[in-house]
Amino acid sequence: MPSAAAQRDIPSDMVYLPPALPSAWGEGAILPVDKPEGRPSFDVVSAVRGGTGVSKVGHAGTLDPIATGLLIVLVARPATRLQEACVQLPKTYEATLRLGETTPSYDTETDVTSRADPSGLSRSDLEDTCASFAGPINQVPPMYSAVKVDGERLYKKARRGETVERLPRQVRIDRIELRDWTPPELSLRVECSKGTYIRALARDLGEKLGVGGHLTALRRTAIGPFSVGESWTLAALTDALA
């Protein structure tokens, strides 16, 4: 059952789409931002904190550095108190997978450790396998993730070469659509619940197909009613704040 904080309404008058900015940051602002590739989510928060002079700035839903797309930035207490409500919103992603190669991080951040030939897979094979992931599924978080075990982030353990048992978590895939199959590259559109790791989905799809796989590109295009097409670019937001 979602907490009371997760069920709060998100006031539309607190959302600022480009080119609008609030006259008083202390009243709270929600800024949809298109995070660029190669930048951690914290960089976006840091840029907004520096540009607004507000110390209390957060975001709702981390994106890995290699990922791009929609990040909801919350400025000042009236907005940050809505963080849990924003986190609960469903997400939409466009993902590219490379079948036939596996990596420890399930993406391109680590080197390929095994290879197989995926060329014999048909589009029908892929569609059937993708369909099998629709609905509630149990997903094991990646070792290279921010999940805490024994008080420490998993990615810190992974970087030391450690592997620990991770309990599966139930997430929900509302829709998974095969966009393109040009071996070995597979493109998907995924609508899912909070807490879903698309990297882990890439791993699981590859395993179920018998060839392995990892994520090579990821873009978050929507979070609930928020769309990346109506978001700030980081460059435009930085300029506007200056």
So which residues are the catalytic ones? 64
Helix extents (H) in 7-122: 41-52, 77-80, 83-87
Contact 189, 94 (CB under 8 A): yes
Token pair of 96 as six digits: 């590219």
Outline where DSSP puts E strands in the chain: 29-35, 57-59, 68-75, 91-99, 101-102, 114-115, 135-139, 148-149, 152-153, 169-182, 185-192, 213-223, 226-227, 232-233
Residue 20, C-beta contacts closer than 8 angstroms, at least 6 positions apart: none
> For tokens 């978001």, what's the residue?
231
Contact 147, 154 (CB under 8 A): yes
